[in-house]
Chain A
Amino acid sequence: MIRELGPNDIVYLLEAARWTIALALIAMVAGGVLGLVVAVLRIVAFAPANWLAIGYINLVQGTPLLGQLFIFFFGLPLFGIQVGAWEAAALALSINASAFLGEIWRGSLQSVSPRQWEAGAALGLNYWQRLTSVILPQAVRISIAPTVGYLMQLVKDTSLTALIGFIELTRASQILSAATFKPLQVYGLAAIAYFVICFSLSRLSQHLEKRTHAAR
């Protein structure tokens, strides 16, 4: 039965958007922590660690996110591990984010001048102190724009989880569109919601960049 699009439906979409945001946040935090490990493994002077990180990055970046979602959602139960759409989505997006953020941060770390490493070394700082006190703070500044750029991508990527039945903004729009038969209005509203989330991130990025001191 086809019905009209009402205020309740907008509330329904906004509630679904909360899951989009929650999923993106989890992937951001878990993927961020793991991504930092990936970035460090990628640059430390220990070849096996570099290979491990490169292999991981290639595997994750070289396969589609949708495939990764399916692997966790349909694959894990085959090994007796029961996962719902929520867990599978959070896991797949976190792993995906860790590879992309790891690469972005690796690039940021390596774009800090080698002379900064030397200046730290000349003062007697050990490798770890140079990395954490000298290089990382500068790399963070460099990484803000590409990191936020990726996070916007991530927000939109959460829409793929609709395909394993996770009810976030896109899946909710599908349901609503089927019920009201007003796809243009429904998906238009969803697009506005995505835009608001991403635009906020972009403003946050500009704010952060202004606050930190630039590397020359």
Chain B
Amino acid sequence: MPLVEITDIHKSFGLVEVLKGVSLTLEKGEIAAVIGRSGSGKSTMLRCVNGLERVQSGRIVVDGLEVTAPATDLNVLRQRVGMVFQSYNLFPHLNVERNVMLALRKVRRMADAEARDIARAMVAKVGLADKLAAYPDELSGGQQQRVAIARSLAMQPTIMLFDEITSALDPELVGEVLKVLEELAREGMTMMLVTHEMNFAKNVADRVIFMHQGNVHEDGPARETLLEPRTPELGSFLSAVLH
């Protein structure tokens, strides 16, 4: 059974239909890069996976939980589905360690000492062990984003969603964040990432999903799909972003 199963989802914001019947599946351990022009619905699709956006119709099942069923407790689902945002969204009133500890303490109901151990291990994993006491506004964008990844990983999710996580970064900071993702990929984490980093998609992702006008337009192995696009839409998109 696939880890993520999306079947014919439709989503509108007011009169604008953003998702027009998207279907796709993701196996455990798979890394899918979702690409496409702005407005193609890729971020919205990603946000539907952990229920941050509700769909108007269609069905999403993640790790055996039906996201689209009204009775599903989304807070339980979200403990298994990590998400990292473009704008980091660290909690500005908490230092790095406390940012990572918060959900462990509140959601997992861990004692402070236990949560602190996990937080320290996760922050060390993203290479920021010396920044545990720093507040978000004392960190660079790349460092903040790595903390955001650590915060999400601390909950031991079965899948991670990344929503354009390098788009707000200065170019010289993109590398340090992508390195963390590569490390996760090596560990076999299931990942779905909306990205504009085509090289990263080509080298690290197993699969590329190209979204166009609210639908999945192409879906195939990463290298092959990016090097030899089958549709003119993907071809013109790629030539626009690569040059």
Query: Which listed residue, A121, A124, A137, touches B93 by the CB 8 Å rule?
Result: A137
Is A182 an interface residue, CB under 8 A from the partner? Answer: no
Q: Across the interface, do B103 and A125 meet the contact criterion of CB distance under 8 Å?
A: yes
Interface of chain A residues 44 through 82 with chain B (CB within 8 A): none
* B80–chain A nearest beta-carbon distance, Å: 8
Closest-by-CB residue of A relative to B106 is A129
Contact partners of B92 in chain A: CB under 8 A: 138, 213-216
In Å, the complex CA distance between A161 and B90 comes to 47
Is A210 an interface residue, CB under 8 A from the partner? Answer: no
In Å, the complex CA distance between A213 and B96 comes to 13
Q: Across the interface, do B137 and A118 meet the contact criterion of CB distance under 8 Å?
A: no
Query: Which listed residue, A113, A123, A129, A134, touches B155 by the CB 8 Å rule?
Result: A123
Q: Across the interface, do A124 and B89 meet the contact criterion of CB distance under 8 Å?
A: no
Is A156 an interface residue, CB under 8 A from the partner? Answer: no
Contact partners of B78 in chain A: CB under 8 A: 121-124
Is A212 an interface residue, CB under 8 A from the partner? Answer: yes
Q: A121-B52, A122-B52, A122-B83 are in contact. Are A116 and B75 (CB under 8 A)?
A: no
Q: Across the interface, do B152 and A138 meet the contact criterion of CB distance under 8 Å?
A: no
Q: Across the interface, do A213 and B135 meet the contact criterion of CB distance under 8 Å?
A: yes
* B192–chain A nearest beta-carbon distance, Å: 14
Closest-by-CB residue of A relative to B137 is A216
Interface of chain B, main secondary structure: mixed
Contact partners of B76 in chain A: CB under 8 A: 124
Is A115 an interface residue, CB under 8 A from the partner? Answer: yes
Is A133 an interface residue, CB under 8 A from the partner? Answer: yes
Query: Which listed residue, B52, B89, B103, B151, touches A116 by the CB 8 Å rule?
Result: B89
In Å, the complex CA distance between A31 and B6 comes to 50
Q: A213-B92, A216-B92 are in contact. Are A126 and B75 (CB under 8 A)?
A: yes
Q: A213-B135, A213-B137, A214-B137 are in contact. Are A123 and B103 (CB under 8 A)?
A: yes
Is A119 an interface residue, CB under 8 A from the partner? Answer: yes
Q: Across the interface, do A124 and B85 meet the contact criterion of CB distance under 8 Å?
A: no
The number of chain A residues with a CB under 8 A from chain B is 22
Interface of chain B residues 82 through 100 with chain A (CB within 8 A): 82-83, 85, 87, 89-93
The number of chain B residues with a CB under 8 A from chain A is 27
Interface of chain A, main secondary structure: helix
Query: Which listed residue, A115, A122, A125, A216, touches B152 by the CB 8 Å rule?
Result: A122
Contact partners of B155 in chain A: CB under 8 A: 123-124
* B47–chain A nearest beta-carbon distance, Å: 9
Closest-by-CB residue of B relative to A128 is B106
Contact partners of B52 in chain A: CB under 8 A: 118, 121-122
Chain A CB within 10 A, most for which of B52, B91, B102: B91
Q: Across the interface, do A119 and B85 meet the contact criterion of CB distance under 8 Å?
A: yes
Q: Across the interface, do A118 and B135 meet the contact criterion of CB distance under 8 Å?
A: no
Q: A138-B93, A212-B93, A214-B92 are in contact. Are A122 and B50 (CB under 8 A)?
A: yes
Query: Which listed residue, A113, A119, A124, A141, touches B107 by the CB 8 Å rule?
Result: A124
Is B79 an interface residue, CB under 8 A from the partner? Answer: yes
In Å, the complex CA distance between A129 and B91 comes to 13
Q: Across the interface, do B85 and A118 meet the contact criterion of CB distance under 8 Å?
A: yes
Interface of chain A residues 112 through 162 with chain B (CB within 8 A): 113, 115-116, 118-119, 121-126, 129, 133-134, 137-138, 141
Residues in chain B within 8 A of chain A (CB atoms): 50, 52, 74-76, 78-79, 81-83, 85, 87, 89-93, 102-103, 106-107, 135-137, 151-152, 155
- Pick the 8 closest A-B CB pairs, nearest first: A119-B89, A124-B79, A123-B103, A122-B83, A124-B78, A137-B93, A124-B107, A215-B92
Pick 12 A–B contacts, CB within 8 A, sort by A: A119-B91, A121-B75, A122-B85, A123-B103, A124-B75, A124-B76, A124-B107, A125-B75, A125-B102, A125-B106, A129-B107, A138-B91
